[in-house]
Amino acid sequence: MDIKSTIKLNNGVEMPVLGLGTWESSPMDVGNAILWALEAGYRHIDTAAIYGNEKEIGEAIKKSGVNRKDIFITTKLWNSDHDNPIRAYNESLKRLQVDYVDLYLMHWPVEKIRNNTWKYMEKLYKQGKCKAIGVSNFTIRHLKELFQHTKIMPAVNQVEFSPYLFQKELLEFCNEKEIALEAYSPLTRAKKLNDPKLAAIAKKYSKTPAQILIRWVLQHNMIVIPKSINKERIKENANVFDFNIEEYDMKKLDLFNENFRVCWNPDEIL
């Protein structure tokens, strides 16, 4: 496994296992973060309409000189845009200055309307407007309900995931259904980076706590999108392919779970 490694989605599309997350990366900071990430070898950028930084991301990708087809771009449909997902998608394309995205996600399982919205997303996919479609923040319950309305299965479910929020049942369910699980906020927004238990494991492998958290996700055969706007940390977060966490320590990390979230809990959405 290296920075170029990919996971084959259920429709055959190859998705890089490591990407740059841009949630809470301001329009002012995100351009440099993209350039540094692409320079460090990242080929996967994750954004969303609600982040307010699609325009700057599009500009940075153009400026980078890296060929568009070599970059995997994900964006997301925001909750207030379910009345017209096609329009929202086209507006995202315009801001990103691209003619397609690789993955379009429904950002949250909005109550009562999500299943109908999925039909529009299927339409976008069938028309060849995006390479893959998926969901974000869907629980097992939301997925099971969605399956009753799908012609096309989601390729990806992007959720908050870390050793401190080890959603084992969701991981097993998605594996069984051939839906790739993708982890956002794997670094717990730095809230757990000083945990002595984590520090002890990091010391053993001569790695940083952040690198251990990222590697743990990868070794669960997931996609991971750590966020940073710091040049050195962006490079450091990608330096996770030269070691393996031993099974004993993986099991130890699995037991860190305390259902610790830094984002909304989708279980509360009916």
Which DSSP helix (H) or strand (E) runs through 132? strand 130-136
Q: How far is CA 95 from the centre of its chain?
A: 20
Nearest CA-CA partner of 86 in 42, 122, 41:
122
The verdict on whether 120 is a catalytic residue reads no
What is the distance between the alpha carbons of residues 121 and 77, in angstroms, rounded to a whole number?
10
Cβ contact 262:185 at 8 Å: yes
Given 51, 120, 125, 184, the catalytic residue: 51
Question: Could you tell me where the DSSP H helices lie in the chain?
Answer: 27-39, 54-64, 85-96, 114-126, 140-147, 168-176, 196-204, 209-219, 231-238, 247-254
Q: Which residues contact 116 (CB under 8 A, 6 or more apart)?
A: 82, 149
The rounded distance, in Å, linking the Cα atoms of 180 and 86 is 24
Contacts with 173 (C-beta within 8 Å, 6 or more apart), sequence order: 140, 143
What is the phi/psi pair of residue 95, to 5°?
Answer: -65, -40
Q: Which of 227, 164, 225, 261 is nearest to 17 (CA)?
A: 225
Query: Which residues does 226 contact at the CB level (< 8 Å), separation at least 6?
Result: 20, 21, 186, 187, 210, 214, 237
Q: Which residues are catalytic?
A: 51
